[in-house]
Amino acid sequence: MCEVIVVTSGKGGVGKTTTSANIGTGLASLGKRVVMIDTDIGLRNLDVVLGLENRIVYNLIDVIEGNCRYKQALIKSRNYNNLYLLPCAQTRDKSAVSPEQIIKLIDEIREEYDYIIIDCPAGIEQGFKNAIAAADRAVIVTTPEVSAIRDADRIIGLLEAYGIERQHLIVNRVRYDMVKKGNMMSADDVVDILAVDLLGVIADDEDIVISTNKGEPVVTGNSKSGQAYMSICRKIIDDTLEAEDLYSVKNRSIRSLFRRKRA
Amino acid sequence: MNSIYLYNTSSYAKERLMSILVSDRIGCNPEFLGEVRTTIKQKLDRYVDIKESDIDIQVKEKMLIAYVPLVGQKYKSQNTQFIYTSTEQEAVNYESNEKRSAELKTIQS
């Protein structure tokens, strides 16, 4: 059975594309057949984050307008045979696609894959409506900042209005040093405010920037953030798992080490 | 901003967000605000001259606050405002003048 997951946030720049890339890659590394679809027409970036920008021949608009079959447009990932990207056009705008066309396309794709990850554009206009049209569930990405949380709340309301009841939250870019000083909301605070089930927490981590520079999602490596994304992927597959906060465990162990030294 | 938040900006942010989200959710629905305005206009019309379109409704910390600027001759000062909150709704129903002035908070500015 195929699940269509839309990764959305409302606000731009909170890490939707990075999250999409890592969830897609993580699910593929767990043996699932995955297609990632970039729906941010005119501002495509998922291809760059995945390091596949040189392989694009056809795109989403070509498929929808019937210039090619969807299998011709799919780009196979560098590391996994069961991971594909359907890039979007860079030269058109969001009005070139309608929600009905997306639903039709995804109905065609979903028969052969386990997961379809849709990278949603920022905002709540046409592009957002296209991206969520065919989604079964939503992953909402937010950062612990007032603007991002407010937009996330708006998105949650809209998703409910469009009938997408299964929603999960990823709190991205948490700075644990600031949380400890009381100058940044913790993931628990964000969950309190938004009242959505938590999928996982990602710290504001250098490794993510480095991996994006290289065009390899961080989930393929062994870093803390890679493990955090892996834990998110496992929870996507099995909803009964607990959301883990890998970073704060690390913080605690460092502190206890320090105490022992001093004594 | 309360001085207690100087060292804990995250709880200040959380508190602000909570009230923003409540007003966002209500604010998304103009019908509701229109209804509230009409009701306030009807209730206060007996005592003071007000314009329905002037009534400004806000939600703060789980409290509905309506700012009602006064117009016309029924009340002398032009700058007087009634703060009419949901908890004081009962107060408006009192007929006697003394009770009314005791129950309604009046701000002279």
Query: B58 or A199: whose pLDDT is higher?
Result: A199
Q: Quick one: pLDDT band at residue A256, thresholds 50, 70, 90?
A: low
Pairs of residues, one from chain A and one from chain B, whose beta carbons lie less than 8 Å apart: 38
For chain B, the residues whose C-beta falls within 8 A of a C-beta of chain A are: 7-11, 13-14, 16-18, 20-21, 24-25, 28
Is the pLDDT reported for residue A72 higher than 60? Answer: yes
Identify whether B12 is part of a domain. no
Q: Give me the domain span that covers residue B47.
A: 32-107
Strands of the B56-60 sheet, one edge to the other = B56-60, B63-69, B81-85, B105-107
pLDDT of residue A249: 55
CB of A68 within 8 Å of any CB in chain B?
Answer: no
- A183: closest CA of chain B, how far (Å): 5
- A177: closest CA of chain B, how far (Å): 13
pLDDT of residue A95: 86
Q: Which residues of B touch A171 (CB under 8 A)?
A: none
Is the pLDDT reported for residue A81 higher than 70? Answer: yes
Q: Quick one: pLDDT band at residue B90, thresholds 50, 70, 90?
A: very low
Identify whether B63 is part of a domain. yes
Interchain pair B10, A192: CB under 8 A: no
- Minimum mean pLDDT range among A21-25, B35-39, B82-86, B92-96: B92-96
For B12-20, which contacts have Cβ atoms below 8 Å and span 24 or more sequence positions? B13/A145, B13/A146, B13/A185, B14/A185, B14/A189, B14/A192, B14/A193, B15/B61, B16/A146, B17/A146, B17/A149, B17/A150, B17/A193, B18/A193, B18/B61, B19/B59, B19/B60, B19/B61, B19/B62, B20/A146, B20/A150
pTM over 0.80, yes/no: no
How many domains is chain B partitioned into structurally? 1
Average pLDDT over residues A29-52: 95
Is the pLDDT reported for residue B62 higher than 80? Answer: no
Q: Quick one: pLDDT band at residue B105, thresholds 50, 70, 90?
A: very low
Identify whether B76 is part of a domain. yes
Domain residue spans in chain A?
A: 3-262
Identify whether B8 is part of a domain. no
Identify whether B1 is part of a domain. no
Q: Which of A63, A123, A113, A61 is nearest to A84 (CA)?
A: A113
pLDDT > 70: percent of chain A: 94
Average pLDDT over residues A40-47: 93
- B37: closest CA of chain A, how far (Å): 25
Residue B63's DSSP bridge partners are B60
Q: Quick one: pLDDT band at residue A223, thresholds 50, 70, 90?
A: very high
pLDDT of residue A255: 54
Is the pLDDT reported for residue B99 higher than 80? Answer: no
CATH of the domain spanning A3-262: 3.40.50.300
